[in-house]
Structure formats: C-alpha cells, structure tokens
Amino acid sequence: MSSRQFFVGANWKLNPCSRDEKKKLIDMLNNANFDKNTEVVVAPPTLYAIAVADLLRKDVKVAAQNCYIKASGAFTGETSPTQLTEAGIPYVILGHSERRTLFHETSSLVAQKTRAAIDAGLSVILCVGETLQERESGATDNVVKEQLGEVVKLVSSEEDWSKIVVAYEPVWAIGTGKVATSAQAQETQKATRAYLASALSPKIAESTRIIYGGSVNDKNCRELATQPDVDGFLVGGASLTPGFVNIVNANA
C-alpha cells in the first residue's frame, strides 16, 4: 500500500451558470460523508472561487482552473497566481487538455505557469495526456514525457514537487464516456512515475501523486482505484452529480 494520500479533484469547468446550481453543488459537498484519508479539491470557475471557498466545508480545498505567469501588469483577462494566493485559493489546475487544445497552450507555457504558481505559493494539479491518434501510434509515453519534460526543466526540487499532483488525462477519455481501462491507466501512470524517477529522483517519483482523469464515474472508480499507480482522480462531468461522493470514497 502506498503512503501517498488519495486525491480527488472536481473540475467544474465552465459550470454552473446559476446561483441555484452553485448552491446545490455546495450543499451536496457540505452534506457528504467523505473518507477522511482522501484530499478533496474543487475547482469552480475563477469568478466563483472565493464565494465557493467561503461557503464550502473547510476540509475541502478550492482550486482555480488556470492562471497566468505574471503577478500583475497589462495582461487583460488573466488571473495572477499571486492574486489566487492572496484570495486564499491554495490550488490551480494547469495544462488541462481543453486549455492546450482550445487555447493553444504549449507545454513550455504550462511549465512557466507551473513555475510561477509554485513561486506564488500555490499547489498545482498538472494535467498531461495523449490524443487518440497518439495512443494508436504508440506515442503515449513519449507525449507524457515531453509534456512533463518541459516542467522538469523549470521545476526540479523535492520541495517544489511536493506541491505538484500530476493528472494523467488521456484526451480521448475526457468528456467522452470512454474511460481508460484500469490496465491502461496503470501502465501509463507507472511509466510516468518511472520517468519522474529518472528525470528527477526516485524519492520524488515515489512521493508524487499521479491521478487519473477521463470519464471517471461512480461505477468505474473503484476498479481504477485498485491500481498501485492510480493515486486518485480528476473528475469533470461526474463532479456535478451526487455520484461524486462515491468517487471521493473509491479508496475507502
């Protein structure tokens, strides 16, 4: 049994759109019985982050879904990592495939954001993962290595890596209902840990949480959670449903 604390993140993406929906989600989380051994982090849209943090039970942490590389200045529309820290938001999701694809974020930019976020005192949920075409051509491990490799160039100390949770999220599994098999998740996450061991150190590899994301739901989460290199989940669609509670408790 690993000593890594199980981690479950909720990525609300650009939801909810009404105060009523937001209240329902917060009530669902506040009334849930969560396994005390699991770290739970919720990422609402940035506009709601402070309000959600105020209303949410204190054993559930809040994340932003993105931030910029600069603390302040002429960067219209961006959110500063320093401002997130000042607002009491402890986590940020970086490198989500929707940001890489729809907003053209490169691995190099994601790495700079990771450096800036850690420097500002944030913890990072760092997303990596391959497209279907890349998986079918056998490139999965190389894609993940390339994405992480840019981060490794800028972030290499044990202390910095204690602030990072790696989320392996195959692009073909995100929001599609096509979950990776537990064998696929385990194989890639084991290879990812081996990469961290060779690029950084065995100690960092052993202590870094590597979670799985992509169509996780309350039916498939238990089987995935049995895998030795699956240290939790990042959950999109199902985090907006009552089934999220069972996902948090998948390791209990």
Binding residues for ligand PEP (CB under 6 A): 11, 13, 169, 174-175, 213-216, 234-238
Indicate left, alpha or beta for 138 from its phi (over 0: left) and psi (-120 to 50: alpha).
Answer: left
Backbone φ and ψ of 27, nearest 5°: -60, -40
33 phi, psi to nearest 5 deg: -95, 100
Query: Where do the H-state alpha helices sit in 95-241?
Result: 97-102, 107-119, 132-136, 140-154, 158-161, 182-199, 202-207, 221-225
Q: Which is nearer to ligand PEP, 43 or 117 (CB)?
A: 43
Catalytic residue flag (residue 98): no
**Which is catalytic among the residues 39, 98, 134, 169?**
169
Element (H, E) at 238: none
Nearer to ligand PEP, 99 or 163 (CB): 99
Among this protein's residues, is 158 annotated catalytic? no
Nearest approach, Cβ of residue 11 and ligand PEP (Å) = 4
Half-sphere exposure in the Cβ direction for 5 (13 Å, CA): 13
- CB 240 to ligand PEP: min, Å: 9
Nearer to ligand PEP, 150 or 169 (CB): 169
Query: And the tokens for 35?
Result: 């396994």
Nearest distance from C-beta of residue 164 to ligand PEP, angstroms:
16
Nearest distance in Å: CB 233, ligand PEP: 8
Catalytic-labelled residue, pool 39, 96, 105, 130: 96
What separation in angstroms does the CA of 154 have from each of 62, 67, 119, 149, 189? 25, 17, 11, 9, 22
- Supply 80's token pair: 């500063």
Residue with smaller CB distance to ligand PEP, 164 or 174: 174
Catalytic residues: 96, 169
